[in-house]
Amino acid sequence: MLVMGVVNVTPDSFSDGGQHADTAGAVAHGRRLRAEGADILDIGGESTRPGATRPVLDEELDRVVPVIEALTADGALVSVDTMRSEVARAAIEAGAGIVNDVSGGLADPRILEVVAASRASYVAMHWRAHSDRMADLASYDGPGGVVAAVRSELAERVTAIRAAGIPDDRVVLDPGLGFAKRPDHNWQLLQGLTQIASLGFPLLVGASRKSFLGALLSNPEGISRPVDERESAGLALTLLLAQRGVWGVRVHDVRASRDALRVLDRMNALHDRRETESP
């Protein structure tokens, strides 16, 4: 399973906003994550936390392009986390090999044309609205609940992606944990990942430090566990996802995730050897 390390070049992201908001800090953070074992560095210049205000286009470009140029010059595989076609184009020109679009092409349909005209891969996430409205759309009352709805809506995005000319082998899907989802919806989606995977595409899952984990770990007074104290729960989830064959996880703490996966790989290797040696 691939580990995608998060590099938020923003002042307001829910987990680490402001910690790496300038170019030098973001590049240093990306290099640190790569040294810790990140397979992909995901560079984002727009916070998508609930209620976040979108930056203007030039601001997003100024945040991400210099960071992408520096990290790709190091030889890193870089993903740009954007919903804008202009940012996707500039990021690809700067060396990004993946466009990670949390809107799946809904926020700016031209982004699909940009990716199709390149050799970049495309991650399409389940999405219903921008951060200031998504909580109002967290309703999944139809047959099959949230899993059926997410699968159906991602299938619609696949149709649009194919129509734009992006080959299937360059497409990854993301169920969109936390986006227009209440806590229980996220757990239901995780339980139903096989149904999402039946669309025939690799899955990227981004659960790291999200609010549904904080809700699970609430104290007796019902106060959610703080963002920076949710990592152990995220690691447990990472191991479960690896065992289910998920393509990749998007995480903040790369070292902890990679360490946990090394333990799992070691145990699996011992099990396989024992099975081979059994009479």
Catalytic residue status for 31: no
Please pick, among 63, 225, 250, 258, the residue that the annotation labels catalytic: 250
Catalytic entry in 157, 210, 225, 230 = 210
Q: In what order do the strands lie in the sheet with 204-205?
A: 171-174, 121-125, 98-101, 78-81, 40-44, 2-8, 248-251, 204-205
Candidates 227, 199, 205; CA nearest to 215 is 227
Q: Residue 212 has which token pair?
A: 């549904």
> The tokens 């000319």 sit on which residue?
165
Our answer to whether residue 181 is catalytic in this structure is: no
Q: How far apart are CA 38 and CA 182, in angstroms?
A: 29
Q: What is the DSSP string of 146-194?
A: HHHHHHHHHHHHHHHHHHHT--GGGEEEE--TTSS--HHHHHHHHHTHH
71 Cβ neighbours under 8 A, 6+ residues apart: 27, 30, 31, 34, 41, 43, 78, 95
3-class secondary-structure state, position 213: helix
- Would you please indicate which residues are annotated as catalytic (active-site) residues? 210, 250
